[in-house]
Amino acid sequence: CALSDYLPDYINCPDDYATVQIQFDQYPEEISMKLENILDDTVLFETSSYDKRLAGQTKYERIPIYFEESGDQTYRFTIEDSYGDGLCCSQGDGSYELHIGDVVEGQPLLSGSIFERKEVWLIEVPSLSSPAATLQPEDDDDDTPGNTIPWWCYIWAC
């Protein structure tokens, strides 16, 4: 990897990052996101709001994550809207997607647009198999999985 000299030792190439693609509604300043490793409480990415000039635009956030040499990992991805109307649809057609690695054609690991105050996902990244994402109930901030969406549902329609 060309960046290996600049990355911490726990970041390995090539796919040791997640990419969040966010299409903002008309109020990006209401949106915040956080990705954390819940096994060691490391916050890998956090933003409290975005510039209002991003209204209606798409932004990509590339976030380093741990991978194979670190063993199985579990992350929590949280997206919040401070106003409580999500990214869609009364104030524009916003949405978000999270991919392991680059954004490529096909299905993301997780995605959303219609929510109220926040959505919380658990992401399990086993060292020897494909990752899976679980949407948690909105009022549930613990680590209890809800409905797991198998990784293959993102490739073949379930």
pLDDT (tens digit per residue) in 47-73: 999 999 999 999 999 988 865 566 788
Sign of the dihedral defined by the CA atoms of residues 95, 100, 101, 107, in that order? negative
- Residue 145: is its pLDDT beyond 60? no
- Tell me the C-alpha distance between 63 and 76, whole Å: 13
3-state SS, residue 70:
helix
Task: For the chain, give the mean pLDDT.
Answer: 79
Residue length of the chain? 158
Q: What is the pLDDT of residue 57?
A: 96
Phi, psi of 114 (to 5 degrees): -95, 105
Q: Bridge partners of 133? A: 123, 149
